[in-house]
Structure 1
Amino acid sequence: MRIGIFGAGAMADALGTQWAAAGHELMITGRTPAKARALADRWGARAGDVAEVAEFAEVALIAVLHQDIASVLTGIGDGLRSKAIIDCNNPVETAHFTLVTDAGRSMAQDIARATGGHVVKAFNLCHARVWEMRPPVFDGRRLVVPYCGDHAAACERAKRLITDLGCEPLPVGDLRHAHHLEAMAAIVISLLFGGHDPHTVFNLIQPATGRAGTPPEVA
């Protein structure tokens, strides 16, 4: 798969390193070209400008600080229209750990509206150090990665990229649910700022013990 990566920070580094090792072809752009080139060299990939990366990508990863999203989307313009886009970002301010998006509206939906791309929300609930693990396994179980989106083919691409990290994909609905994933991330980020281990995660898979369709009893 040809993956275009927008951003050259810790998340881009962690995910790009894993996907390059899985055999995907990568191209990256970043606010600091030298930093993007250094990552590309390490991956055996290429660096380029925003337009070049958008044209190259079959699927794009946008991995930038929420404060920079608007300028990145302006640079992308229509370059990702009708393409799969993975949004791993979180619109969370760190004074009170609340969302900066409008009530009931997610950053993922804003990206979809701005680009015309098929956005899938994924990879937003863990610190970059978790994505560096090969594979991310906790208590003998693979890390569960929730994702959501409106476009079946884009979701399939996201599912494959999750699986390529050795993780368990968990579909949680259409893109309206991205707002809830971003709110969950606000809790994770508050824990990280509070000094918790960067490997703090939510593991959401637990086999039910009741009948099919019946939740297990709660004591």
Structure 2
Amino acid sequence: MRIGIFGAGGMAEALGGQWAKAGHEVMVAARDRAKAAEISPRVGTWAETARASEVILLAVPAASVTEVLAMAGNLAGKVLIDCTNAVGPGAVLTVPDQAARIAAAAVGAHVVKAFNLCHVDVWRMTPPVFGGRPLAVPICGDKVGEVSELVRDLGCVPLVAGGLDRAALMEATMAFTVGLWFDGHDAQACFPPLPA
């Protein structure tokens, strides 16, 4: 798969590196081209990376999203994976329904919310398995096939959680669980296993 990555931070490096190891073609666009080149030898502008890619991971700070999408140009028909989290101090959402905001700015793109629930270090694990159980990755959007494949390439289990209209629930879940973790609580302990 031809994957574009917008951004050169931790999420871009962790996910992009794993996908490159899995045999995908990865191209990176970022303000810092030298940092982008550390992720992939293929570096382009926002627009060049968008044109060259079937799937694009949006891994830039939430405050930069609309500016980056405007510079990327026409994204119609592209699968745009939103892993961003618009949170401020105290794990409070600063932009409710960030995925809907992204969809409005990327007209014609297939926006899919995924990879936003875990810390970057989890995505560096090969594979992310806890207590013998592979990590499940919720996906909200209408083009889940491509994203499901990328989830499986990480050694994780895709969990199709509905359309993009449910992404706001995933964003709120992230803020809630991160707040618990910051306070020293095991958020996962809130949920019994399925057989229970």
- Normalised TM-score (structure 2): 0.91
Whether the aligned pair in 2 keeps the contact of 1:6 and 1:62 (CA below 8 Å) is yes
The corresponding residue for 1:83 is: 78
Select which of 54, 58, 63 maps to 2:54: 58
The corresponding residue for 1:213 is: none
CA distance in 1, matches of 2:170, 2:148: 16
Residue 202 of structure 1 deviates from its aligned partner by 8.4
Residue 91 of structure 1 deviates from its aligned partner by 1.1
Whether the aligned pair in 1 keeps the contact of 2:66 and 2:105 (CA below 8 Å) is no
The DSSP-based 3-state class of the residue aligned with 1:35 is: helix
CA distance in 2, matches of 1:202, 1:16: 30
The DSSP-based 3-state class of the residue aligned with 2:5 is: strand
Whether the aligned pair in 2 keeps the contact of 1:86 and 1:121 (CA below 8 Å) is yes
CA distance in 2, matches of 1:204, 1:162: 22
CA distance in 1, matches of 2:70, 2:110: 17
The corresponding residue for 2:23 is: 23
Q: Do the aligned partners of residues 203 and 123 (structure 1) sit closer, same or farther apart at CA in structure 2, a change above 3 Å counting?
A: farther
Select which of 64, 68, 71 maps to 2:67: 71
- Unaligned stretches of 5+ residues in structure 2: none
Residue 157 of structure 1 deviates from its aligned partner by 0.4
CA distance in 2, matches of 1:202, 1:55: 43
The DSSP-based 3-state class of the residue aligned with 2:125 is: coil
**Identity across the alignment (%):** 48
Q: Do the aligned partners of residues 192 and 115 (structure 1) sit closer, same or farther apart at CA in structure 2, a change above 3 Å counting?
A: same
Residue 204 of structure 1 deviates from its aligned partner by 7.3
- Normalised TM-score (structure 1): 0.82
The DSSP-based 3-state class of the residue aligned with 1:47 is: coil
CA distance in 1, matches of 2:192, 2:160: 12
CA distance in 2, matches of 1:9, 1:130: 15
Residue 100 of structure 1 deviates from its aligned partner by 1.8
The DSSP-based 3-state class of the residue aligned with 1:185 is: helix
